[in-house]
């Protein structure tokens, strides 16, 4: 008889993992706290969007879901930086038209739930709020919509209930559980750029737009309805800071000065700024991820800040990595979870560090001449030496190496570029034999 | 009218802080989860002992309590290392008979409670288990011994309820609270060395005894009844490890081999080893320590591993530091708590790091020739240059500098000793003019 796995949380990680496990022959029960997204009057493309890149796509491809998901995505082939005068600077992300995809979180989640629902060995329960877990016995308790208690017994429980995981609470009180939650000084607030008078995108839709302002920034990702969802990242306390931007006139002065080219297509900006909440940015690290018959996966195990666009991609890679481990262990869930934990934790730590590092980069450096010069060298190296040189962004976003390897190789790249700048070797970048020798010296 | 401060927790930090606050004119209510230690049939000197050193004494001295406490303490003037053959090596901790004091946690706590109880503006409630806190309103809820709910309203709440603080739970869910709990691979188990046939101490009572064994160790501190309380620190999993030492014959082989000189005076060692639980070792770091009208102090804000003997001393210093801040701010509690937090958090982090570093030192290095050579140089420097050179241990244990300064100056010392070893300057240590020039180069 097939073993039953209960997934607490039916978000992106939970619904994708359910499909992986069902395909491996497990019976899967998903318990989700929120109502069924497919039933509620879902608002289409204007809600939060996410950047889907190669790691996430690779996981979807394993299940034959990549094409369907790409259909609802908008390719972004580079960053478009907006300065204080509204002037633009463009940097491609990769080469040969490599792109990341702006995807609606809601639409993607619905697609995955639909797929899961079509499989015989997956059952789903919505409006079920997890109230307790017995880690050793794989027993979980819930309160349903009617307020009634519901009990579930499985062979395994996997927490896919996100950064504020209810399952993780049981880990935290079970003794000798390493746990860290670390908040940024910055928070975030969402705003929107509307379509122009003709109903078209008001800016180039195939970019991720950035207004880098050193201590803060705004970014914008395109939606299918020709709008952009903007996010302002700014300290709570600071100059400027969310805590001190209170009156409409203060807000108006701020956005007009800082985002002069965007404000004309943000007619609701003052209302949105006043009304929309300020979210927090947290990095969560945990260990172990497995205790008794219960495991943590995705954001419940490792929440990261959004600055590398890798949160969802990392969770999807978690799922396909666990799928890989099940393959390696002949579907022995205990061995697979142990192997998964062993392989995965260093990568989760690496992407957490990468995301924090990229925040500084996006805010502080993107607009700086020295940074742009480094990026220009890196771009030339990537273009001329596609097989021999990979920028860290490329390794994280497009390549098939682990996050840990991307982290380590970033240091090698830095030292190589330091050398090029120090010894003024920019003119030699096209000299292939010379550069291959230099690579040998710096790159592993 | 005087403001009321509610202290959640009547352990060492809570009872000492109550006295400081009462002397400043605050009304103080202490709520303690456990029964009144003074009433229960307390077992005297044989329970857990702690190392009291200058920082703790300094706080007690401010209240005129130091002499009374020293009366129940046993001075330990150095470490006595026991090797596998039972051979001894002695290292003094300081000079001029400087000592740390082995003190019974229970007796000390009782003394502080007695003192607190004698003060008119302190009230104490035992058997009150904290069930909730309103951080902004300084309201706390408890369940008393009869199981009834009890509510308290104060002007300020200070958590002195230790590493597993109930008050801190409200901080953890209040948003943007940085929190880390990190466990060691090692656990600890308490054993005991009895008095010898004549009723005297079986070993030198004026030492802290250490059996350093690289991956694990045992220590022993003297008690007034001529026993020693021993603590074995060892990995849970390992070779040896607590998880694998299960049968009496395994335990017997282990202790006989590892602690040959101690086992003859440990007649209950097998029973104790089987019966006594294995405790965990955790480092907890938090920030902020102040939210609304509620603050964290002592282990609730910063739990550390016990390897520098500074847990209690750090908590006592917290109390006297808050007392100092109240003095500086004319008893304005909000300003004092903010000032205290600002001054104190870097010191709490420094002693956490120092304690972790000392664990490695005690286990791995204490028995190593290279380490002993460094200690010998350091000892000579301390003896010959009492005013100019202070070892890190001395700075932490005997001096009046912050933990952060002790941490920083440890690196300077290391570089100085590196130089002495590298350039073989041992013979020049007595050459005062030469050494003073060297100090100038290395020490700030």
Strands of A196-329 (E only): list them: 207-212, 217-222, 228-235, 279-287, 290-291, 294-296, 302-303
A387 lies in some domain? yes
Q: What is the DSSP string of B138-172?
A: TEEEEE-TTS-EEEEE-SEEEE---TT-HHHHHHH
Q: Is residue A48 in some structural domain?
A: no
Each residue's pLDDT tens digit, A169-206: 999 988 899 999 999 999 999 999 999 999 999 999 99
pLDDT at A109 over 60: yes
Rank A26-40, A336-350, B75-89 by mean pLDDT and report only the highest.
A336-350
Q: What sign does the CA torsion over B432, B433, B437, B438 have?
A: negative
Q: Please report the number of interchain residue pairs, chain A to chain B, with beta-carbon separation below 8 angstroms.
A: 31
B351 lies in the same domain as B378: no
Confidence at residue B44, expressed as pLDDT on a 0 to 100 scale: 46
Please report the ipTM that was assigned to this predicted complex: 0.84
Task: Determine whether the interchain pair B179/A181 forms a contact, defined as Cβ–Cβ distance below 8 Å.
Answer: yes
CA A283 – CA A351 distance, rounded (Å)? 10
B contact test, residue of A181, A291, A303, A349 with most B CBs within 10 A:
A181
Name the residue facing B280 among A175, A179, A183 (closest C-beta): A175
Find out whether B237 and B230 touch, Cβ atoms under 8 Å: no
Confirm whether A210 is domain-assigned.
Answer: no
The neighbour count for residue A370, using CB atoms within 10 Å, is 9
> Residue A42 pLDDT > 90, yes or no?
no
A187 assigned to some structural domain: no
State residue A47's pLDDT score: 53
Contacts of A178 in chain B (CB under 8 A): 181-183
Across the range A243-263, mean pLDDT stands at: 96
Mean pLDDT of A389-413: 95
**What SS3 string covers A290-309?**
EECCEEECHHHCEECCHHHC
- Is A404 in the same domain as A318? no
Contacts of B176 in chain A (CB under 8 A): 183, 236, 280
Q: Are B203 and A203 in contact (CB under 8 A)?
A: no
- Classify residue B83: in a domain, yes or no: no
Same domain, B53 and B162: yes
Contact across the interface for B178 and A178, Cβ inside 8 Å:
no
CB contact under 8 A, A183 and B178: yes
B182 neighbourhood in chain A, CB within 8 Å:
178, 180
- pLDDT, average across residues B165-175: 94
Q: CATH code at B301?
A: 3.50.50.60
Q: Decide if A92 is inside a domain.
A: no
Cα-based angle B163, A129, A310 (whole degrees, multiple of 5): 75
In this complex, the residue of A172, A179, A280 whose CB is nearest that of residue B176 is A280
Q: A177: which chain B residues are within 8 Å (Cβ-Cβ)?
A: 181, 183
DSSP state of B278: P
The string of pLDDT tens digits covering residues B89-103 is 898 888 777 899 999
Q: Which pair of tokens denotes residue B231?
A: 């603590």
Q: What is the pLDDT of residue B40?
A: 63
Q: CB of A243 within 8 Å of any CB in chain B?
A: no
Percent of chain B with pLDDT over 70: 97
B176–A contact, CB cutoff 8 A: yes
Q: What's residue B371's pLDDT?
A: 82
> What are the φ and ψ backbone dihedral angles of B225, each rounded to 5 degrees?
-90, 20
Considering only CB atoms, which chain A residues are within 8 Å of B181?
A: 172, 177-180
Asked if A181 lies within 8 A of B182 by C-beta distance, the reply is no
Residue range A9-39, pLDDT digits in tens: 999 999 999 999 999 999 999 999 999 988 7
The pLDDT value given to residue A429:
95
Per-residue pLDDT band at A46 (split at 50, 70, 90): very low
Mean pLDDT of A94-105: 89
Note whether B375 and B434 are same-domain residues.
yes
Structure tokens at B415: 């570089």
Which of A309, A332, A358 delimits the end of a domain?
A: A358
pLDDT bin (cut points 50, 70, 90) of residue B365 is low
C-beta of residue B59 within 8 angstroms of C-beta of residue B187: no
pLDDT at B144: 97
Q: Which of A175, A176, A180 sits opposite B180 (nearest CB)?
A: A180
Task: Answer yes or no: do B179 and A177 touch at CB < 8 A.
Answer: no
Q: Which residues of A touch B177 (CB under 8 A)?
A: 181, 183
pTM (two decimals) = 0.89
Do residues A131 and A168 both lie within one domain? yes
Query: Does A372 lie in the same domain as A354?
Result: no
CA distance A183 to chain B (A): 6
Which residues on A lie below 8 Å from B180 (Cβ)?
Answer: 179-182
Contact check, Cβ <8 Å, A178/B175: no
Same structural domain for residues A109 and A33? yes
Residue from B168, B172, B181, B303 to probe the interface with A (highest A Cβ count within 10 Å): B181
Question: Is residue B433 classed exposed, middle or buried when 0-12, 13-18 and 19+ CB atoms within 10 A define those classes?
Answer: exposed
**Chain A CA closest to residue B187:** A176
**Closest-CA residue of chain B to A280:** B176
Residues in B closer than 8 angstroms to A164, CB to CB, are: none
Residue A369 has pLDDT above 60, yes or no: yes
Looking at the fold, whether B46 and B119 belong to one and the same domain comes out as yes
Those residues with Cβ within 8 angstroms of residue A118's Cβ, 6 or more apart along the chain or in another chain = none
Q: Which of A311, A326, A358 is the last residue of a domain?
A: A358
Is residue B89 situated within a structural domain? Answer: no
One domain, residues B297 and B433: no
Determine the average pLDDT of the residues in A234-261. 95
pLDDT of res. A248: 96
Is a pLDDT exceeding 70 seen at residue B115? yes
Domain count, chain A: 2
pLDDT at A37: 87
The model's pLDDT over B229-268, given as tens digits with 9 standing for 90+, comes to 999 999 999 999 999 998 999 999 999 999 999 999 999 9
For residue B198, give the DSSP letter.
T
Contact across the interface for A180 and B179, Cβ inside 8 Å = yes
**B173 vs A contacts (CB less than 8 Å):** none
Task: Give the residue carrying structure tokens 């009046």.
Answer: B400
Could you give the count of Cα atoms lying within 13 Å of B229 in the half-sphere of its Cβ? 20
Average pLDDT (B393-419) is 95
For residue B97, is it within any domain? no
Average pLDDT over chain B, rounded to an integer:
94
- Mean pLDDT, residues B287-307: 97
Which residue of B179, B186, B287, B338 to mutate against A (max A Cβ within 10 Å)? B179
Residues B304-325, mean pLDDT to the nearest whole number: 97
**Best residue in B168, B175, B178 for a mutation probing chain A (most A CBs within 10 Å):** B178
Band the pLDDT of A40: cuts 50, 70, 90: low
Q: Is 80 exceeded by the pLDDT of residue B366? A: no
Say yes or no to pLDDT of B41 above 80.
Answer: no
DSSP B217: E
pLDDT on residue B97: 79
- Residue A45's pLDDT is 41
Residues B388 and B437 in one domain: yes
Same domain, B172 and B237: no
Residue B83 to residue B135: CA distance in whole angstroms: 52
Q: Is B241 an 8 Å CB contact of chain A? A: no
Whether the predicted pLDDT of B45 surpasses 50: no
What's the rounded mean pLDDT across residues B299-327? 97
Q: Which residues pair with A54 in a beta bridge?
A: none
H-type helices in B49-156, by residue range? 54-62, 66-71, 105-117
Are both A305 and A380 inside the same structural domain?
no
Q: What is the mean pLDDT of residues B360-367?
A: 72
Interface residue A42 vs chain B (CB under 8 A)? no
Q: How far apart are CA A114 and CA A105, in angstroms?
A: 14
**Which residues on B lie below 8 Å from A172 (Cβ)?**
181
For the stretch B187-225, pLDDT in tens is 999 999 999 999 999 999 999 999 999 899 999 999 999
Final residue belonging to a domain, choices A340, A358, A376: A358
DSSP state for residue A342 in the 8-state scheme: H
What distance in Å separates residue A299's CA from the closest CA in chain B?
17
Domain boundaries, position A408:
368-442
Percentage of chain B lying above the pLDDT 90 cut: 88
């Amino acid at each position: 008889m097939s073993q039953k796995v209960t997934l607490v949380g039916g978000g992106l990680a939970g619904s994708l993992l359910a499909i992986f496990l069902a395909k491996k022959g497990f019976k899967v029960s998903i318990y989700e706290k929120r109502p069924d997204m497919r039933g509620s009057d879902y608002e289409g493309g204007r809600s939060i969007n996410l950047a889907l890149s190669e790691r996430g796509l690779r996981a979807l491809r394993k299940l034959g879901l990549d094409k369907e998901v790409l259909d609802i995505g908008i390719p972004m082939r580079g960053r478009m930086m907006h300065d204080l005068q509204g002037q633009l600077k463009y940097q491609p992300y990769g080469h040969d038209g490599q792109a990341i995809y702006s995807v609606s979180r809601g639409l993607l989640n619905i697609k995955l739930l639909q797929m899961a629902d079509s499989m015989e060995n997956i059952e789903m329960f919505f409006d079920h709020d997890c109230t307790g877990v017995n880690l050793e016995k794989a027993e979980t308790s819930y309160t349903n919509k009617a307020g009634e208690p519901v009990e579930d017994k499985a062979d395994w429980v996997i927490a896919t209930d996100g950064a504020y995981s209810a399952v993780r609470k049981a880990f935290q009180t079970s003794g000798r559980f390493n746990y860290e939650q670390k908040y940024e000084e910055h928070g975030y607030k969402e705003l929107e750029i509307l379509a122009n008078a003709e109903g078209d995108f008001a800016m180039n839709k195939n970019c991720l737009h950035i207004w880098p302002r050193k201590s803060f920034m705004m970014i914008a990702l395109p939606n299918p309805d020709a709008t952009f969802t903007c996010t302002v990242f700014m300290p709570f306390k600071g100059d400027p800071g969310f805590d001190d931007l209170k009156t409409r006139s203060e807000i108006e002065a701020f956005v007009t000065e800082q985002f002069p080219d965007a404000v004309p297509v943000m007619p609701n900006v003052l209302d949105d700024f006043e009304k929309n909440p300020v979210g927090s940015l947290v990095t969560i690290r945990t260990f172990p991820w497995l205790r008794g018959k219960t495991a943590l996966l995705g954001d419940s195990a490792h929440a990261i800040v959004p600055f590398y666009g890798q949160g969802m991609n990392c969770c999807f890679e978690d799922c396909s990595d666990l799928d890989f481990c099940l393959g390696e262990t002949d579907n022995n869930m205990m061995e697979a979870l142990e192997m998964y934990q062993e392989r995965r934790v260093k990568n989760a730590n690496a992407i957490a560090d990468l995301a924090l590092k990229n925040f500084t980069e996006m805010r502080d450096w993107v607009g700086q001449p020295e940074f742009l010069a480094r990026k220009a060298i890196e771009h030339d190296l990537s273009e001329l030496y596609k097989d021999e040189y990979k920028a860290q962004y490329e390794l994280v976003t497009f390549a098939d190496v682990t996050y840990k390897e991307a982290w380590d190789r970033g240091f090698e790249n830095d030292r190589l570029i330091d050398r090029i700048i120090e010894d003024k070797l920019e003119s030699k970048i096209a000299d292939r034999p010379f550069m291959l020798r230099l690579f040998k010296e710096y790159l592993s």
